[in-house]
Structure 1
Amino acid sequence: MNKRLLAIIAAIGATTIYGINHTVAKGIMPHYVQPYGFIILRVLGAAILFWLISPLGPKEKIDPKDYLRMIVCAFLGMGLNMLVFFKGLSLSTPINSAVLITTTPIIVLVLSAVILKEKISSRKILGIGIGLFGALGLILYGSEVRQDAPNIPMGNFLIFLNSIFYGSYLVVVKALITKYHPFTFMKWLFSLGVLICLPFGLEEFMQIEWSSLPFEAYRGIAFVILGTTFCTYLFNIFALTQLKASTLSAFVYVQPLVGIGYAIFTGQDNLTLIKIVAACFVLVGVYLASRKPNRFYQKLK
């Protein structure tokens, strides 16, 4: 099997894991683990794993002048975005989450225009408008009566905030990604993430009743730590060694399809007219906005 085919399989694997994660994580929260306590498990578990594999990479020290940028990246990429995403998912539904998360490329495009003064074509502006219209539709009109989703509009809004924070992280992190080896970068980023998230999630983490957790809860926690947090990053790194950035970015369209399909297959969610219409608007908007990624977004990817 050639490396390019393996890279495609890795990219599909990462996207599939992300899509399944919406349902798996939702199944654990909030009955077994509260969202902020879950974040502690996620960042702590990933930090330990990256420290364990870090000897396989080069020995590097973080340049003191990069400390501030590293801290900002940790807040945006390992703190705020995870906190609002898991809290939002606990309040909303897997399908809403899978749809809204794909607005990240639109957010990156907007931020690169505002911060880096990059020009946006009329087609991209149309795509941004259509995608945000779909996201706004889910936030304002996606409410349902569900016992496991107590505040869907607020949850949808928090998931959308996750896209904003993660998009901001992609803008800020560019210089560090090109300067340091991934193992070095991620072990320190996740370590800082533990410190940032600890004040928010320590109480909920301590409330976890490990002895009473069923096997499926342990399995779900392991999936989020090993799969969603650790493996997906490594899969995407390998994929980037063989595929163009624009090719890899196209896999963003697979995530909502997997997320929606898996949620329906497992009986954890169902389609409504609002979800279908909003998903169409978001996907069309993302396609128009990122069909030909701008140079900055290609470098980020």
Structure 2
Amino acid sequence: MSKRTLAILAAIGATTIYGLNHTIAKGVMPNYVGAFGFVLLRVLGASALFWLISLWGPKEKIEKKDYLRIFVCAIFGMGVNMLVFFKGLSLSTPINSAVLITTTPIIVLILSSVLIKEKIVGRKVFGIFIGLLGALGLILFSNELRQDAPNIPLGNFLILLNSFFYGTYLILAKILISKYHPFTFMKWLFSLGILICLPFGYQEFLEIEWLLLPFEIIWRIAFVVIGTTFFTYLFNVFALTQLKASTLSAFVYLQPLIGILYALATGKDTLTTIKIVAASLVFIGVYLSSRKVRQ
């Protein structure tokens, strides 16, 4: 099996885990663990796992000039994107989260144009407009009243903001992934992520009542730490060694399908007209903006 095929399988695996995560993580917040405390728990657990697994990896030294880039990647990929996503998910619903996360390819396209001067043709511009229109529809017109979703418009906005930060991370990380082994890169990335998330999540982390957590919540936390954090970042960082950032971000197409079906199957969310219309606009926008232009 070729490395490219393995990279595609890794990207599909990461997307599947992310799709399930919208509902699984939502069940933990905010009743058992606060959003920021959950993020700190994620980076602490994943950091420990990456340092452990790096014992069997190559022994590499980070060049001094690369520490700043790794720190910037940690800010966008380990810090602010996790903080705003989990806070947004705690305020919104699993289906809204699964739909809005598909704006990542659109964000990557915009950032690629700004940061690396990638040309955007007219159809892609139209796709960006349609996709963002759908995202704005979810933010402005979601008026559900749910006890587990106290501020859906704000939550939706924060989830959209996560796409911007994660898209920036994908572009910045591409250079470092081609230079360092994934284990080396990820252990330093998550270690720096602890420093970034600690001021935000320290208090909520201390408030976790571990002895009172039911098994259902424990396995959800384990899934988020080991699956959504450790394996997905490992899968994505390996996929980046063989795929373009824009190609990897396109695998987010699968995420809403998995996320919506799982949320509906478990009875954790429902479809509304606003969600259907907004999701359709986002999918059309992502399709138009991601299609290759015929020469």
**TM-score where L is the length of structure 2:** 0.93
Q: Which runs of 5+ in 1 are unaligned?
A: 294-301
Q: CA RMSD in A?
A: 2.1
Q: Contact 2:170–2:245 (CA<8 Å) still a contact in 1?
A: no
Bigger Cα displacement from structure 2, 226-235 vs 45-54: 226-235
Q: Is 2:235 the partner of 1:231?
A: no
- Which residue type is aligned with residue 83 of structure 2? L
Query: Are the equivalent residues in 1 in contact too, given 2:112–2:118 (CA < 8 A)?
Result: yes
Matches within 5 A, 1:87-102: 87-102=87-102
- Equivalent residue, structure 1, for 2:19: 19
Opposite residue 139 of structure 1, the aligned amino acid is: I
Query: Which residue does the alignment assign to 1:85?
Result: 85
Task: Describe the superposition over 1:219-274 as per-residue Cα deviations: whole angstroms up to 9, x where unpaired.
Answer: 00000011111112333455567878777554321110000000111111000000
In the alignment, is the contact (CA less than 8 A) between 1:246 and 1:292 conserved in 2?
no
Q: Secondary structure of 1:147's partner?
A: coil
Secondary structure in structure 2 of the residue aligned to 1:28:
coil
Tell me how far apart the structure 1 counterparts of residues 260 and 281 of structure 2 sit (CA, whole Å). Answer: 15
Paired residues in the alignment total 293
**1:82 corresponds to which letter in structure 2?**
M
Amino-acid identity (%): 74
Whether the 8 Å contact between 2:99 and 2:256 is mirrored in structure 1 is yes
In the other structure, the counterpart of 2:67 is 67
Which region of structure 1 is more displaced relative to structure 2, 42-51 or 4-13? 4-13
Pair 173,130 (structure 1): closer, same or farther in 2 beyond 3 Å: same
**Residues in 1 aligned to 2:247 and 2:47: alpha-carbon distance in whole angstroms:** 29
Aligned partner of 1:190 in structure 2 is 190
Residues 82, 73 of structure 1: CA spacing in aligned structure 2 closer, same or farther, 3 A cutoff?
A: same
Cα distance, 1:205–1:263 mapped onto 2, change above 3 Å:
same
Q: Is the 8 A contact 2:131 2:282 kept in 1?
A: yes
Structure 1 distance, partners of 2:69, 2:243, is: 28
Shift of 1:291: 1.9
Counterpart in 1 of 2:200? 200
Q: Which runs of 5+ in 2 are unaligned?
A: none
2:155 maps to 1:160: no
1:171 deviation in Å? 2.5
- Residue 259 of structure 1 is matched in structure 2 by 259
Residues 242 and 71 of structure 1, relative CA distance in 2, 3 Å threshold? closer
Equivalent-residue separation in structure 1 for 2:176 and 2:119 (angstroms):
24
Distance, in Å, in 1 between the alignment partners of 2:238 and 2:64 is 29
- 1:282 deviation in Å? 0.5
CA distance 1:199–1:275, change in 2 (3 Å): same
* Corresponding residue SS for 2:178: helix
Equivalent residue, structure 1, for 2:119:
119
d(CA) in 2 for partners of 1:174 and 1:239? 10
